[in-house]
Structure 1
Amino acid sequence: MSSIAQRMMGNPVFSQVYERAWRPLFTRGFSLGASDTADYDRALRAYLARPGERTVLDIACGPGNYSADASRGLTGDGRYIGIDFSASMLAQAVRDNSADRVAFLRGDAHRLPFADGTFDTVLCLAALYLIPDPLPVLDEMARVCAPGGEAIVFTTSRTSIAALPGADALTALSGLRIFGVREITERFAALGMEHVEQTVTGVGQFVHARRPAE
Structure 2
Amino acid sequence: MSARDRLLALIDCPPVDVAGPWLDLVAGSPGTRGRVQDVWESEGGAGTYDGILGVGDRLEGVVPDLVGGGNLRAFYRVDERLGLAGGETVLDLACGPGTLTRRLARAVGRDGLVIAADLSEPMLARAARSTPFACVDFARIDAMDLPLRTDSIDAVSCSLCLHLVPDLGTALEEMARVLRPGAPAALAVPAHAPGVLRPFTDVLARFGQARLFGAGDLSGEMRSRGWTGVREQSLGGIRIVDANAPG
**TM-score in terms of structure 1 length:** 0.84
Q: Which residue is equivalent to 1:202? A: 236
Could you say if the C-alpha distance between residues 127 and 203 of structure 1 is closer, same or farther in structure 2, counting changes exceeding 3 Å?
same
What is the SS of the residue equivalent to 1:152?
strand
Closer, same or farther: CA 50–119 of 1 in aligned 2, 3 Å = closer
Q: Is the 8 A contact 2:160 2:189 kept in 1?
A: yes
Q: What CA distance in whole angstroms lies between the structure 2 residues aligned with 1:129 and 1:7?
A: 13
Corresponding residue of 2:176: 142
Q: Aligned partners of 2:192, 2:141: CA distance in 1, in Å?
A: 29
**Aligned-partner Cα distance in 2 for 1:187–1:163:** 24
* Equivalent of 1:10 in 36, 41, 57: 41
Residue 89 (1) aligns with residue 123 (2) = yes
Indicate whether 1:164 and 2:198 are aligned: yes
Show structure 2 runs of 5+ residues with no match. Answer: 1-31, 61-66
Corresponding residue of 1:21? 52
d(CA) in 1 for partners of 2:239 and 2:198? 18
Corresponding residue for residue 154 of structure 1:
188
**CA drift at 1:20:** 2.2
Deviations 1:65-110 (CA, angstroms, capped at 9, x unpaired):
2111101122464100011111111111111113211011012110
Residue 141 of structure 1: how far off its partner (Å) = 1.1
Q: Which amino acid aligns with 1:4?
A: R
Instruction: Please tell me the residue identity of whatever aligns with 1:74.
Output: V
Asked if 2 retains the 8 angstrom alpha-carbon contact of 1:3 and 1:173, the reply is no
Task: Give the conservation status (yes or no) of the 8 Å contact 2:78–2:157.
Answer: no
| Counterpart check, 1:74 vs 2:105 | no
Question: CA 1:24/1:4 → structure 2, altered by over 3 Å: closer, same or farther?
Answer: farther
Amino acid at match of 1:10: E
Within the alignment, does 1:41 sit opposite 2:75 as a pair? yes
In structure 1, C-alpha distance between the alignment counterparts of 2:101 and 2:170, rounded to whole Å: 24
Work out the CA distance in 2 between the residues paired with 1:188 and 1:2: 22
Identity of aligned residues (%): 29
The 3-state SS of whatever aligns with 1:178 is coil
**Number of paired residues?**
207
Give the corresponding residue for 2:151.
Answer: 117
Partner amino acid for 1:174?
Answer: G
How far apart are the structure 1 equivalents of 2:169 and 2:54? Answer: 23
Structure with bigger strand share is: 1
| C-alpha distance in 2 between matches for 1:122 and 1:68 | 14
Bigger-Rg structure (1/2):
2
Change over 3 Å in CA distance of 1:178–1:55 after alignment to 2: same
User: Which stretches of structure 1, 4 residues or longer, exceed 6 Å deviation after superposition?
Assistant: none
RMSD: 2.6
In 1, Cα distance between equivalents of 2:200 and 2:81:
37
Letter in 1 for 2:145: R
- Which amino acid in 1 is paired with 2:43? P
| Aligned residue in 2 for 1:107 | 141
Q: What residue in structure 1 maps to residue 26 of structure 2?
A: none
Q: CA deviation at 1:191?
A: 2.2
Give the C-alpha shift of residue 44 in structure 1.
3.2
What is the rounded CA distance, in whole Å, between the counterparts of 2:77 and 2:109 in structure 1? Answer: 21
Structure 1 residue 184, shift from structure 2 partner: 1.2
Whether contact under 8 Å (1:162, 1:178) holds in the other structure is no
Contact 2:79 2:107 survives alignment (8 Å): no
Query: What's 1:56 paired with?
Result: 90
